[in-house]
Amino acid sequence: MDTIWKRWWPAGVDEPSIELPVRPLAMILKDNARRLPSKPALIFYGRQVTFAELDDASDRFAGWLASRGVRPGDRVAVFLENCPQFAIAYFGALKAGAINVCLNPMHKAIELEHEFQDSGAKVLVTSDQAYPIVASIRDRTPLDAVVVTAYRDYLPAEPTLTVPPSFLEPSRPSPDTDGFLSIVREAPPLGTPRPRRLDDTALIQYTSGTTGVPKGAELTHGNVVANCELQRVFIGVGEDDVPLGVLPWFHITGMECQMNMMAYAGATLVVLGRFDLETVLRAIQQYRCTLTTLIATINVAIVHWPRTKEFDLSSLRACFSGGAPVPAEIARRWEQVTGYTLIEGYGLSETTAPTHVNPPHRPKYGTVGVPLPFVEAKIVSLEDGRTELGVGQSGEIAVRGPMVMKGYWQRPDATAEAIRDGWFLTGDVGRVDEEGYFTIEERKKDMIKASGYSVFPAEVEAIMYRHPAIAEVGVVGVPDPYRGEDVLAFVVAKPDAKGKVTEQEIVDWCRDQMSVYKAPRQVRFVDALPKTASGKVLKRALRDAAAKPPA
């Protein structure tokens, strides 16, 4: 179809006049630090980190990396919750020319080991609380150095917001590691970021796959700054904005739409380490936040909480939502409760976050909006992945543009399957209406969306097969009014384990072995899994069985 959606772009958005950046984000951060040295870049429960401090600390971290032999193209992993240390390590790695590998802080040993080995990360930055998990697998990884920090190191003496209790715990000893504070206080700084081309890789973002293990989306320096500029133009983000950063930064939405946009636009970012409903609302009220990006489950929690209207949210000029489609009724209730519209967008790890955003002046509830400037988008046949479909027809969403990844890290097979003739096949089924607004209908294949996180059954099954009592397992998603979907596992027990292991014991084991959002909250023992003649598990039959009460 033609680009009819351009007529709905905000006033002043003129594609021919948009100039995409030609310098990497690390250089742009340095420019903003020179221009706005005393301005807070981050506010962490009341602790202010200025742009000058962020720039200097990341320079010193970059210098330390260089002294440890890290060269351009080497990988540096970050295994932290949102905190100033995350941003310092992230921008320091970029300045050193390294590739950031940001890992989910909920990961357990099995998940971490795969991503360390696959990425080949040489250095890790983590918390003293998480280090025991790392220590248990460290000798099976390529890590040359581990840097450890305590969250309380960057907390103020008198926090202005409620701090997660674990952030206040005393520091724990971490043998055979380097101290983060010593590095950023004492290491000689790397004065000039190492030169990087826009097509050089900046990030490896792990995204779950149907093969049973996550694969890394290779995002370039050009992807990162292009998406920042297009968000700035489309949404109107500027240095006077005060965004709230509560989405996790290891995830592309929180990283690109909050942390990277802070560095790009010179805006002050109010940082929360974890989601707490009252703390979110209090932060918006206290710091007069103007922007935030949330996910559907947070939107649901806010509209359903009786005390939401006690807080003054009038400073917000826009609230965006991503991660999973927001039901139109929830969006309408959001507007009733807060007094302003909810602006839904759409993107993936492979697209450096948004490719589509609802025009702030004309959102259409139930849709993910229209493509951003320089983004081409279409609906293609589910059969061949190439034939373009018409208005209202359901098919796979395909996109191309300056924010689309270069491919999957060391996976040319997966790259060739996902990117065809320059078009990235998103794996999401949707349609486009006569005005050019896109709607997500369902996810291709079997992906589960739990609390905004992508969960691929094959990965959960691969871990569950490690349990000595499990002969076969099939994992599906089941509807949940708060989380969107829950993970349910159908388990066939080995003959010698029947009657000796309980469903709850399997649930508890899963929570110990994988991130909590992936771990099945329900397990059902069955005598056999439904299969096709070729032996493939029939997931549709499992979903049908899941809809019925347990026998």
What's the pLDDT score for residue 201?
98
Taking Cα atoms as reference points, which of 251, 252, 289 lies closest to residue 270? Answer: 289
Exposure b/e, 426-461, CB count within 10 A at least 16 = b: bbbbbbbeeebbbbbeebeebbbbbbbbbbbbbbbb
Structure tokens, 338: 């807060």
Handedness of CA 246, 247, 248, 250 (dihedral sign): negative
The pair phi, psi for residue 236, each rounded to 5°, is 85, 35
Strands 407-408 and 419-420, bridge-based pairing: unpaired
What pLDDT score was predicted for residue 324? 67
Alpha helices in 38-108 (DSSP H): 51-67, 84-95
C-alpha separations of 300 from 202, 322, 328, 482 in Å: 34, 13, 11, 7
- Taking alpha carbons only, the member of 74, 504, 84 closest to residue 262 is 84
Rounded Cα distance between 444 and 327, Å, is: 19
Residue-level pLDDT at 210: 41
**Cα dihedral: 364, 369, 370, 375 (round 10):** 170
Q: Which residues are 346's β-sheet partners?
A: 356
Q: Which domains does the chain have, with CATH numbers?
A: 50-197 (3.40.50.980), 448-546 (3.30.300.30)
Q: Where are the beta strands (DSSP E) in 157-249?
A: 178-179, 201-207, 215-220, 243-245
Task: Name residues whose C-beta falls within 8 Å of residue 127's C-beta, 6 or more positions apart in sequence.
Answer: 79, 80, 81, 105, 148, 149, 150, 151
Strand partners, 200: none
CA dihedral for 398, 21, 291, 455, sign (positive or negative): positive
- 94-126 exposure pattern, b = at least 16 Cβ within 10 A, e = fewer: bbbbbbbbbbbbbbbbebbbbbbebbbbbbbbb
* Residue 40 main-chain phi, psi, to 5 deg: -65, 125
Look at residue 534 in the predicted model and tell me its pLDDT.
Answer: 41
Please spell the DSSP secondary structure of 303-363, one letter per residue.
Answer: HH-TTGGGS--TT-SEEEEESSPPPHHHHHHHHHHHSS-EEEEEEEGGGTEEEEE--TTS-
What is the C-alpha to C-alpha distance for residues 376 and 378, in angstroms, rounded to an integer? Answer: 7
Per-residue pLDDT at 444:
67
In this prediction the pTM is 0.86
| Rounded (5°) CA angle 359-6-368 | 40
Full pLDDT tens readout for the chain, 551 residues: 568 999 999 999 999 999 999 999 999 999 999 999 999 999 999 999 999 999 999 999 999 999 999 999 999 999 999 999 999 999 999 999 999 999 999 999 999 999 999 999 999 999 999 999 999 999 999 999 999 999 999 999 999 999 999 999 988 889 999 999 999 999 999 989 999 999 999 999 998 644 457 899 999 999 999 999 999 999 999 999 999 999 999 999 999 999 999 999 999 999 999 999 999 999 999 999 999 998 877 887 888 888 999 999 999 988 998 766 677 777 888 888 888 888 999 999 999 999 999 999 999 988 999 999 999 999 999 888 899 999 999 899 999 999 999 999 999 999 999 999 999 999 888 899 999 999 988 766 677 888 888 787 878 887 898 899 998 889 999 988 888 899 999 999 988 899 999 999 999 999 999 999 999 999 999 998 887 544 567 887 898 899 888 76
